[in-house]
């Protein structure tokens, strides 16, 4: 009887061992990750979030492969553009392959933002998705606004030299021997002996004769040009966070605006175009009683 009990116990132990071994094997089964999908990188491709201008075209591409676990063939690839949570199908194709290599381009004709969603599916129903965001801007409407820019005379700490890209003023000491700062300057304020308070491009001939400003020996002189406008002070003040600038009149350009005034609705707003091609408006706010100081507001394309 003891012998029988021993054999039965041995049999039970053997069965338990087999059961444990079987469970261990199930737990070690690899998990199927589905197909692999890689966005192509490099200078020619967009693969991350990006801000572009209206009318710009981007290029993108994908490389797909079947799952290394299941080996299921690829059955479908599609591309959606999703804006306001609404997907718009841009490309959709069926497949029956182990791999997939594809390039595409897209041109954006309106402002806004959305996500490009790339999706690859295999025969087992597994899907892999890659996504990035595209923001589309109108370069003609996005602006920077600089209020109460206060110019000083040549020896005042405020400075006479304005950088439209930064919204900052520079002094004679910061510009006279520093080409990197000279390259930032778009226009200069001074009080002329005959033409009164003036805004001038760095390459203006009158500026070269004013020894205190020391512009004559600059190695970099940006060519900013001005137009007079019919824009009133109230119209300028009503401009919000974006603005479509009027056309720049290339035949009526000036490299200097003189005899500035700071009273009245009209004749105080000027259009300018920097050498970098940025359009802007400058409004004369105050010329002060001293006569060689000025306060202006500026808006300029980003």
The pLDDT value given to residue 264:
96
Q: Whose structure tokens read 């940025």?
A: 278
What is the block-wise mean pLDDT of the chain (302 residues), using blocks of 10 residues?
37 40 58 96 93 89 97 97 94 97 92 94 97 85 93 94 98 97 98 90 95 96 97 96 87 93 96 94 93 94 90
The pLDDT value given to residue 247:
87
pTM above 0.85, yes or no: no
The pLDDT value given to residue 250:
81
The pLDDT value given to residue 140:
63
> Residue 237: phi, psi to the nearest 5?
-65, -20
Strands of 99-107's sheet in order across: 36-39, 57-65, 99-107
Report the 10 Å Cβ neighbour count for 117: 16
- Cα separation of 42 and 49, whole Å? 14
Q: Domains in the chain and their CATH numbers?
A: 36-137 (2.60.40.10), 143-301 (no CATH)
**14, 50, 185, 226, 273 from 249: Cα distances, Å:** 96, 33, 22, 9, 10
The pLDDT value given to residue 21:
44
The pLDDT value given to residue 27:
57
**33, 100, 121, 127, 221 from 61: Cα distances, Å:** 21, 10, 16, 18, 44
Contact 79, 58 (CB under 8 A): no
The pLDDT value given to residue 26:
52
């Amino acid at each position: 009887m003891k012998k029988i009990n021993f054999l039965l116990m041995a049999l039970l132990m053997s069965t338990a061992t087999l059961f444990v071994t079987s469970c261990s094997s199930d737990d070690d089964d690899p998990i199927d990750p589905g197909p692999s999908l890689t966005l192509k990188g490099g200078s020619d491709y967009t693969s991350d979030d990006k801000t572009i201008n209206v009318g710009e075209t981007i290029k993108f591409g994908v490389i797909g492969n079947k799952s290394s676990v299941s080996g299921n063939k690829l059955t479908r690839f599609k591309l959606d553009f999703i804006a306001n949570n609404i997907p718009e199908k841009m490309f959709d194709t069926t497949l029956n392959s182990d791999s997939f290599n594809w390039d595409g381009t897209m041109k954006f004709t309106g402002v806004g933002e959305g996500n490009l969603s790339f999706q690859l599916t295999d025969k087992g129903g597994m899907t892999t998705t890659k996504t990035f965001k595209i923001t589309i801007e109108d370069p003609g409407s996005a602006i920077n606004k600089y209020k109460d820019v206060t110019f000083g005379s040549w020896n005042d700490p405020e400075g006479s030299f304005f950088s439209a890209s930064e919204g900052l003023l520079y002094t004679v000491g910061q510009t006279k021997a520093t080409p990197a700062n000279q390259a930032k300057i778009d226009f200069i304020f001074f009080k002329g002996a005959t033409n009164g308070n003036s805004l001038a491009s760095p390459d203006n001939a009158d500026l070269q004769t004013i020894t205190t400003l020391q512009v004559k020996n600059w190695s970099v002189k940006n060519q900013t040009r001005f137009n007079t406008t019919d824009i009133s002070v109230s119209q300028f003040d009503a401009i919000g966070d974006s603005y479509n600038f009027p056309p720049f009149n290339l035949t009526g350009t000036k490299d200097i605006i003189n005899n500035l005034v700071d009273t009245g609705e009209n004749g105080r707003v000027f259009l300018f175009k920097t050498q970098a091609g940025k359009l802007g408006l400058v409004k004369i706010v105050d010329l002060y009683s001293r006569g060689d100081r000025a306060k202006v507001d500026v808006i300029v394309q980003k």
